[in-house]
Structure 1
Amino acid sequence: MSEMWEVSVDWLALREAEDARARSTALAAAVPGLLGDGPLTMHDLGSGTGSMMRWLAPRLPGPQTWILHDWNASLTARASEGRPPRDAWGQPVALRSRIGELDRLDASALRGASLVTASALLDVLTAAEAHAIVDACLAAGAPVLVSLSVTGDVALTPWDPRDIRFARAFDAHQRREVAGRRLIGRYGAALVGGLFRQAGWHVRTALTTWRLDRRDPLLLAEWFDGWAEAAIEQDPRLLRETVGYRELRWAQQARGELRACVYHLDLLGWSR
């Protein structure tokens, strides 16, 4: 599945502050009550450069060891740069990484986990990969906190009727087939939540939203361009049918008028 993970360090760094603002603090606040005593071992799936660790570690007791799972060793190496984050007790966390494809994750990879986390992961999985990850989490028995799964819902201001066609094409792009893999896109959180409930687990969800505007024009520009390009890639007719659309949005952004709400879902699951 590595062809789905070609994300740049620059993009991950650009979005980290907005990810941190958007994630559900209510779900994170419920996690300490689900953890056992003693040293904690956190497994972060699709960890990238470690943004989930940096956000969550200070909210949890220690001592903590974080194991970062990603196929891209250069990204996990970035997580080790600089000072490690500190836990709620003010102690630095220990950090390890495991490089490998997440579609090969099994129960042994999560053995001894106190908590399993992921961020912006579920929508780039296939249904089979999501089932495998859930099975591994169920076998580990540790609570699971997954943040920022796309819902496919986007609201741009000022509104334009062409937004609908772009949003539909982007949603289809999220569920496209790549190298024989059919992505689940916006259905990722619903599928995973349903699998945990079917197994008898408790599941809580929270709507989490990116709110992009002139306060962070670079992130807004990068997100809009990527969103529009993905829509056009999925439906090339948009390039002809919406002449002037992107130019209008770029002009609105230059004047500080453009805003975008990008909706996600966070999920917390734990065994009864």
Structure 2
Amino acid sequence: MRAAPGDGGFTPDWLGLRENADAAARSTGLLGPLRAALPVPTGDSALVVADLGCGTGSMGRWLAPLLAGPQHWVLYDRDPELLARAREGLPARSADGRPVTAETRPVDLTRLEDAELSGAGLVTASALLDLLTAEECARLARACTAADRPALLTLSVDGRVELDPAHPLDRPIADAFNAHQRRSVAGRRLLGPDAPATAAAAFGGLGAHVRERPSPWRLGADDAALAAEWLRGRVAAAVEQRPDLASAAAGYLDERLGQCASGRLRALVGHRDLLALPGSAP
């Protein structure tokens, strides 16, 4: 996917830096309805979980131990290094001690076909939807609903950011960054912060039962390294979108990084989690 951390980038170092914040942010309130929609584990029949854009496997490390029964994770990404890390890092056991296995599939998710999800009992993704176009998001919704499989899609950015202490440049930087997230890349107009609403409408329009929960990062003094890297990427993306901000943004970034280093900066970075259940689900 993309390379700059503030731009949703997925380098191994960035993914490792954000994993704890991601795990703390994901909504556990969606797990009850998800468990109720999954088949009751029986015998050795494994739940097949399709993890789209798996990165280094943080979704599997978070979710696999929270679901009972044997599981087989199919890990999708186009980066072989990330796929290898994801497979190696997946937990060996589920919530009730049953085995968890995995396989990898190198694939470009912008060209995902329905057949790729054949046999999956659950589709998951983390920090993926904002990197898709509206058409690609609709295709994903069709693939999930056509086979009556639930989808748990977490940590889609929603454009909301609150910084304490506030700064006069917060709004111009935010507007430029959000515009950058919605930019066109090789003819693809990315959803960026429009992703949660677009995905909810796509699934709902196909008859799925959609549940949403906020899943913001809440960064403080203990998250200084993550906050600093997030700020660098955020400001770089904003300046790429609006070069006229470059001079003022340099001072802004220096000031914010100093606040990170001293433990004075607090940041709420908005995301949303979405659970889409088949229309046949209770």
Q: Match for residue 16 of structure 1? A: 19
Identity %: 49
Letter matched to residue 14 of structure 1: L
CA contact (8 A) 2:133 2:190 kept: yes
Say if 2:172 is the partner of 1:165: yes
Q: Match for residue 202 of structure 1? A: 209
Q: Match for residue 125 of structure 2? A: 118
**Unaligned runs of at least 5 residues, structure 2:** none
Among candidates 266, 269, 272, match of residue 259 of structure 1: 266
Letter matched to residue 119 of structure 2: G
Q: Match for residue 141 of structure 2? A: 134
- Residue 266 of structure 1: CA displacement? 0.2
Separation in 1, partners of 2:50, 2:254: 43
Separation in 2, partners of 1:70, 1:243: 34
State TM-score, norm by structure 2.
0.92
Residue 237 to residue 138, structure 1, CA distance change in 2 (3 Å): same
Separation in 2, partners of 1:160, 1:6: 25
State TM-score, norm by structure 1.
0.95
- Residue 243 of structure 1: CA displacement? 5.3
- May I ask how many residue pairs the two structures share in their alignment? 272
RMSD (Å) for aligned C-alpha atoms: 1.7
**Structure 1 residue ranges, 4+ long, deviating more than 4 angstroms after superposition:** 1-6
Equivalent position SS for 1:244 = helix
Say if 2:102 is the partner of 1:95: yes
**Unaligned runs of at least 5 residues, structure 1:** none
Q: Match for residue 48 of structure 1? A: 55
Q: Match for residue 29 of structure 2? A: 26
Residues 115-147 of structure 1: CA deviation (Å, up to 9, x unaligned): 100000000111111111111111221111000
Say if 2:229 is the partner of 1:222: yes
Among candidates 177, 186, 190, match of residue 179 of structure 1: 186
Separation in 1, partners of 2:252, 2:86: 38
CA contact (8 A) 2:163 2:265 kept: yes
Residue 2 to residue 107, structure 1, CA distance change in 2 (3 Å): farther
CA contact (8 A) 2:68 2:98 kept: no
Residue 123 to residue 5, structure 1, CA distance change in 2 (3 Å): closer
- Residue 240 of structure 1: CA displacement? 2.7
